[in-house]
Amino acid sequence: MTVATAGLGLLIGLVIGALGGGGGVLTVPALVYLLGQTAQDATTSSVIIVGSTAVVGTLARVRGGIAWRTGLGFGAVGIPTAYLGTLLNQRVSQHVLLLAFAGVTLLAAIAMLLRSRGDDGDDPDPPPGSALRTAVRTRRQLAGTALKVAGCGVVTGFLTGFLGVGGGFLVVPALVIVLRLPMALAIGTSLMIITTNSVASLASRLGVAEVDWAVVAPFAATAIVGTLAGKLVSDRLSGVVLTRAFAVMLLLVGGFVAAQSAAAF
């Protein structure tokens, strides 16, 4: 069991380090279907595992790999909704939880695939205009970006608490699709946001959740090693390749969990 657990941790850490998220969507099914945990216990274990790997991944990208303002705003507004999501997590059945997990995962995958099809060119430069017009346009863009950051943070924070994942499988699509960050920058920013959301979600579970440390400890330890290896992989691949790889992973995991959950009804 320990060897299998460590191997799963290494694989999932590699995914987190390379893609900036997706560890939770692999960790929860692995804990439920391969290691026999309930959905509620698996979501708590996943928060610990994914959160610890995200901390290491963030530290590895401190210099130039993180959009700090976006990440801090995104993470801050998600803290209260992560708490609300955790409360709801304890009140729904395992089948509902896993079906919700699968549905959100598949939607995120489709959105990423659609976005990757439009990544071949750069955005055109804005048309020239007066200084006043440019200033007004810039102010509106900043306000719009702030609203997008807040909206994305609220939604992903809630789903982090509810689904027991660090939120990277939602954060990365939000950063790439809604906020138009390059994939390389979205990865580092996502890891920072995952860290914040995981801490908030875990804090709300203290005293009510049970953790099997015999599983979680080796899983998290090897996942941290895998995260560092994943960074080396991501540094050598283009943004389009990383985006499509992320989407394909989500499709496979979401489809598997949906099939397993539907068959269990």
Residue 70: pLDDT over 60: yes
Q: How many Å apart are CA 109 and CA 125, to the nearest integer?
A: 29
Q: Are 69 and 146 in contact (CB under 8 A)?
A: no
pLDDT digits 0-9 by tens, 230-248: 888 888 888 788 888 888 8
Q: Are 95 and 58 in contact (CB under 8 A)?
A: no
CB neighbour class for 257 (10 Å; exposed up to 12, middle 13-18, buried from 19): buried
- The rounded mean pLDDT for the chain is 80
Sign of the dihedral defined by the CA atoms of residues 228, 230, 234, 235, in that order? positive
Q: pLDDT value at position 1?
A: 54
Least confident segment among 4-13, 161-170, 180-189: 161-170
With cut-offs at 50, 70 and 90, classify the pLDDT of residue 200. Answer: confident
pLDDT digits 0-9 by tens, 95-127: 888 888 888 888 888 887 887 776 554 444 445
22 contact partners, CB below 8 Å, separation of at least 6:
15, 16, 168, 169, 172, 246, 249, 250, 253
Lookup: tokens for 168: 């990277």
End-to-end, the C-alpha distance of the chain in Å comes to: 29
Instruction: Using a pLDDT cut of 70, give the percent of the chain over it.
Output: 87
Residue 71: pLDDT over 80: yes
CB neighbour class for 110 (10 Å; exposed up to 12, middle 13-18, buried from 19): middle
Q: Are 167 and 156 in contact (CB under 8 A)?
A: yes
Q: How many Å apart are CA 11 and CA 16, to the nearest integer?
A: 9
CA angle 72, 44, 147 (to 5 degrees): 25
pLDDT digits 0-9 by tens, 121-148: 444 444 555 555 565 566 677 777 888 8
pLDDT digits 0-9 by tens, 5-38: 888 888 888 888 888 776 777 888 888 888 888 8
Q: How many Å apart are CA 28 and CA 44, to the nearest integer?
A: 9
Q: pLDDT value at position 122?
A: 45
With cut-offs at 50, 70 and 90, classify the pLDDT of residue 149. Answer: confident
Q: pLDDT value at position 222?
A: 92
Q: Rounded mean pLDDT of 199-218?
A: 79
- Please, what's the largest Cα pairwise distance for the chain? 67
Could you tell me how many residues make up the chain? Answer: 265
Q: pLDDT value at position 135?
A: 59
Q: Scanning the structure block, which residue is given the tokens 């499709």?
A: 251
Between 25 and 71, residue with greater pLDDT: 71
